Amino acid sequence: MASHRRPKQSSQAYTAMVTATAAAAVAVSAQSASADPLPDPNKKGVQAQVDRLYEQATQAVEKYNGAKEKAGVLQKEVDALQDTAARKRSGLNDLRTRLGSIAAAQYRSGGLDASVQLLLTSDPDGYLDKASFLDQLSAQQVDALEQYQSQQRDLQQQRGQALEKLKDLQDTRKELGDKKKEIQGKLAEAQRLLNTMTAEERAARSAEDERANRSSERVELGNEGSASQRAAAAFEAAKSRVGMPYVWGASGPNSFDCSGLTSWAFNQAGVSIPRTSQDQANAGTRINSLSALKPGDLIIMRTDLSHVGFYAGNGQILHSPKPGAQVRYESIERSGMPFMWGVRIG
């Protein structure tokens, strides 16, 4: 079996990694969680409470990521609708100018018809419904009036659609703010609890994380190939990020949450996949058995599908696990998170 060795990092990159990791683990900047092992429900004490808070924060992170992605889509739709409405408004103004010319010509030839006055000042629909008035206009004039009526209706429809999208966007942005507060609250409470631990307890926790990071450098992955060239390319990209810090809401290139790592890696392979773990769970062909997975397949973890990583071979997952941790390899069995299914991207 082949042994994985993490590439050496420059001192500058290492300093940045340490700084970012410390910031993620210590405070509520705008950075923190997406996937910690499920704590033992029978375990008591501060350690278990911190683990539960981290898990709750990571679950909220994926909802935050989903709301952020939705907000981006809605903003593009609103911009497109507003651009279309602006073009229609411009065309309507041009047509109104033409109608003004018709009215001026009528006035010079014998006075402005009251029906044309009604059209230009208020309701063209009501005007066109009066067939007796149409008899007084030429075919060209009628065509201009009908165009005006049609474009005015289109403009009203575009404005209505834009207003609906704007409301959706406002609601989604509120959801974003709520999720951000929830995440920050969970992390702040976790930090408060960590601060109550003795120096010996904190040292033991740090040592446990460091052991996990070191064991990642010596992991045996085996020699099994990926199911496709794209999966292989994405997996290679993810492997190049080993040692990068976990940061909630981050999608690379130097920090990641769980789904940020997988979406970034596939993007490097020229494949666009959804941003959240829940959406990635349905992004390709489902693989129900761990034994059927190949390196580069996605692994969906937890019953709420709130964690995702790459299958790395030999029972290992490559993932960005939790606040204060780094992108690393870890035994799926020992991760403490239930395996739901794998996803093969083609």
Q: Where in the chain are the domains?
A: 38-197, 220-346
Concatenated DSSP letters of 69-138: HHHHHHHHHHHHHHHHHHHHHHHHHHHHHHHHHHHHHHHHTT---HHHHHHHHS-HHHHHT-HHHHTTS-
N residues, the chain: 346
Say if residues 224 and 232 touch (Cβ distance below 8 Å): no
Give all strands (DSSP E) within 195-333, no chain letters: 285-287, 298-301, 307-313, 316-319, 328-331
Pairing label, strands 285-287, 298-301: unpaired
Give strand pairing partners of 300: 308, 341
Domains 38-197 and 220-346 share a fold: no
CATH class of 38-197: mainly alpha
pLDDT at 40: 43
Active site amino acids: 258, 307, 319
C-alpha span between 319 and 261 (Å, rounded): 7
Say if residues 226 and 214 touch (Cβ distance below 8 Å): no
pLDDT at 258: 95
pLDDT at 109: 52
Say if residues 320 and 35 touch (Cβ distance below 8 Å): yes
Pick the CATH number of 220-346 from 3.40.462.20, 1.10.287.1080, 3.40.50.2000, 3.90.1720.10: 3.90.1720.10
Q: Name the token pair of 118.
A: 């009604």
Mapping DSSP to helix (H, G, I), strand (E, B) and coil, where does residue 342 land? strand
**CA nearest neighbour of 277 among 213, 343, 219:** 343
Would you give the DSSP letter of residue 337?
A: S
C-alpha span between 128 and 131 (Å, rounded): 7
pLDDT at 123: 57
Would you give the DSSP letter of residue 325?
A: -
| Amino acid, single-letter form, for residue 346 | G
Per-residue pLDDT of the chain (346 residues; tens, 9 = 90+): 444 544 444 434 433 333 333 333 333 333 333 344 444 444 458 878 887 888 888 888 888 888 888 888 888 888 888 887 787 777 777 766 766 666 565 555 555 454 455 455 555 555 545 444 445 555 656 666 677 677 777 778 878 888 888 888 888 888 888 888 988 898 899 889 988 888 888 888 888 877 777 777 778 888 889 999 999 999 999 999 999 999 989 999 999 999 999 999 999 999 999 999 999 999 999 999 999 999 999 999 999 999 999 999 999 999 999 888 899 999 998 888 999 999 999 8
Say if residues 263 and 274 touch (Cβ distance below 8 Å): yes
C-alpha span between 284 and 276 (Å, rounded): 14
